[in-house]
Structure 1
Amino acid sequence: MDLILTITSVEQDKKKKQRYHLFVNDARDPFTSVHEDLLIKFRLFKGREIDADELKQILHEDSEHRAYVLALAYLGARQRTEKEIVRYLAKKELEEGAVRKALERLKREGLVNDSAYAELYAAQRMRSQSKGRRLLQQELLQRGIKRDTAKEAASKLNEESETEIAVNAAIKKWPHLKGEERERKHKLAAFLLRRGFPSGAVREAVKAAAQSELEDEDGHMLDN
């Protein structure tokens, strides 16, 4: 004989106002809790009888709904990658299927889009942190972006802008480097390569940095 549960009381959660505790068969402790949307959908009110199969469906849908709501809250702070969403929801001990369904829904609604995320991230970090496409591609991979998506985002960065940023970074770094000119150029080139700039941009940047110092010296001599 299938297990039949009778809802004998429904109480709103005092902290999470959108969730309700279900008490069954006159038990003093709540049997489970559900979101108010499911409370209404399944008409989970006092006196309602639930069999085992329906209970399984209710709990499954509630798990999916909880995963979606948690992911939305997590997205509220800033844009996230698919991998970040999955990692976050995994910590909440949700079913793998519920996590997958929540992620699929977020993607359909355009709230999670790894391609758009990668392009925006790469463009912003290149300018704000003076990083080249190689380093940015590595950072995207570390954030869980798929290799092809990260590579495509990096390839869309403007080469002229990348060189310009490398030049600006080099000119800013040059005065702080010690040693003879050749040693300083070597140190600067190594610095720019670590920042992910390609060799062509590095050569132009090192040349521009050294030239900027000569121009400053010439200007200072004319002032005197």
Structure 2
Amino acid sequence: MKITKIEKKKQHYLLEIDGKDQLYITQDTIVRFLLSKGMQLNQQLLTEIKEFAQFSFGKNSALHYLSFKQRSETEVNNYLKKHDFQDQIIGRIIADLKDNRWIDDQKYAETLIQQNLTAGDKGPYLLKQKLRQKGVAEAVADQELAKTDFSPVADRVSQKLFKKYQNKLPETGLRNKIIQSLTVKGFSYEEAKKTFAALSIETSDEIQEQLLDKELEKAYRRYSKKYEGYALKQRLIQYLARKGFSFDAIDRALRNYQ
């Protein structure tokens, strides 16, 4: 067998053998086997060229995928499978990329956690879930999470929630809202309580009464269209209790309202 043509085709090369058989290869393949027009090939060498060409295609594809952002090993593996590369080739590609530190799940976890510390809003439990979804080993995720102090993230989230709801909810309702939001975002209940306790909350009975009167007026407009008498009163009490107002405060407000 003899190479009768090597022709550049966009990002790849067309290799022609004996004027009829054709296959696409990469520049790395040409360099590795020192391929040139007129070169004689045997079957074993041709098989090696084909295998390396597939490996090179796959590696280049993976590097392109990695050029946009850091990826986990599982993400790269799934990407290559999606593009129909054989498992054996994928294994070689993954091993090569790991050897050259293009793939590093520990570094991936560290970067994700640091990005969250800088501008994110997730706690350790939610981040661990995200890392596991990306295929990062639980031991690796736990190791990186254990190194991290998440209190700055919790403080940032609680401050944002406080500014949003301080004039909309009573203190109890505000406490419940912030603690619940923090736990949903992946912080432990104890961490959420500690974070709320560190907030500087200044309020007054007058402000609390104004909030209650405002919510009572809103609830009355809503429920008086459907209910009256005892049923209306119960709806109002339930609504205001869900907002975090005490039953004593609700009772006083209802007496004054009526």
Output aligned runs, 1:62-141, within 5 Å. 62-141=53-132
The ranges of structure 1 where at least 4 consecutive aligned residues each deviate by more than 4 angstroms after the TM superposition are: none
Describe the superposition over 1:54-87 as per-residue Cα deviations: whole angstroms up to 9, x where unpaired. Answer: 2211111111122222222222222211111111
Q: Which amino acid aligns with 1:185?
A: R
SS in 2 for 1:11: strand
For the residue of structure 2 that corresponds to 1:46, the secondary structure is: coil
Report the aligned-residue RMSD: 2.3
Deviation at residue 137 of structure 1 after TM alignment? 0.9
For the 8 Å contact 1:81–1:143, the answer to whether it is kept is: yes
Question: What SS does the corresponding residue of 1:187 show, helix, strand or coil?
Answer: helix
1:189: how far off? 1.0
User: Does the residue aligned with 1:94 lie in a helix, a strand or coil?
Assistant: coil
The 2-side partners of 1:130 and 1:44 are apart by 54
TM-score by length of 2: 0.71
* Matched pairs, number: 204
Map residues 186-197 of structure 1 onto 2, 5 A cutoff.
Answer: 186-197=176-187
Q: What are the ranges of 5 or more consecutive residues in structure 1 without an aligned counterpart?
A: 218-224
Alignment of 1:5-44 (within 5 A): 5-13=1-9, 15-16=10-11, 19-27=12-20, 31-44=22-35
Give me the whole-angstrom Cα distance separating, in 1, the residues matched to 2:178 and 2:32: 65
Deviation digits for residues 168-205 of structure 1 (CA, Å, limit 9, x no counterpart): 32122024334432222112211010111122221122
> For residues 214 and 100 of structure 1, what CA distance do their matches in structure 2 show?
62
SS in 2 for 1:32: strand
SS of residue matched to 1:76: helix
- 8 Å CA contact 2:62–2:76 kept in 1: the answer is yes
Residue aligning to 1:143:
134
Give the stretch that moved more between structures: 60-69 or 177-186. Answer: 177-186
Larger Cα Rg: Structure 1 or Structure 2? 2
CA contact (8 A) 2:120 2:153 kept: no
Of all paired residues, the percent bearing the same amino acid is 26
Relative contact order higher in (CA < 8 Å, ≥ 6 apart):
1
Aligned position for 1:163? 151
Q: Secondary structure at the match of 1:12?
A: strand
Q: Please give the alpha-carbon distance, in whole angstroms, between the structure 2 residues aligned to 1:135 and 1:74.
A: 25
